[in-house]
Amino acid sequence: MTDKKPKRPHQVYTLLVEVGRKDGDGLPKSATGAALMCYAAGVDEAEAVRETVALLKQADLNPLDVSGYGSLEERLAEGHDIPDEERDLMARALAENSVVVAQTTAFYDKD
């Protein structure tokens, strides 16, 4: 008889990932880095962060910092207004058990 742990349900977490430059990263030539808004599925936020960082590294990006903003339920409890398009991307990440990069904002030096 095996004692299997009950499966914990996946949730989708909102993550903001700062990336630095790396050869082949696909960022504009004059950019110094970028911020990526991601929706990532995981049993907890730590797993969502690990999966997101691993995926971005496979995509030749250089993750430097990750800020977590919580699950959909946590964000709603904090009073965040979450538009339908954002909810749709979260639903996609959950359905596919994946990471969805919703927005990329390149950074540039001010000269």
Residue 40 in this model has a pLDDT that exceeds 80: yes
pLDDT digits (tens, 9 = 90+) for 59-100: 999 999 999 999 999 999 999 999 999 999 999 999 999 999
Q: What is the pTM of this model?
A: 0.88
Q: Domain limits at 56?
A: 11-107
Instruction: State the alpha helices, DSSP H only, in the chain.
Output: 45-58, 72-77, 84-96
Residue located via tokens 């709603």: 76
- Interatomic CA distance for residues 67 and 96, integer angstroms: 22
- Interatomic CA distance for residues 24 and 9, integer angstroms: 36
Structural domain tally of the chain? Answer: 1
Separation of CA 62 from chain center: 14
- Interatomic CA distance for residues 5 and 22, integer angstroms: 40
Whether 67 is covered by a domain: the verdict is yes
Whether 4 is covered by a domain: the verdict is no
Whether 44 is covered by a domain: the verdict is yes
Output the pLDDT for position 2.
56
- Interatomic CA distance for residues 94 and 75, integer angstroms: 16
Cα Rg of the chain, angstroms = 16
Mean pLDDT (the chain, rounded): 92
Q: What whole-number percentage of the chain has pLDDT above 90?
A: 87
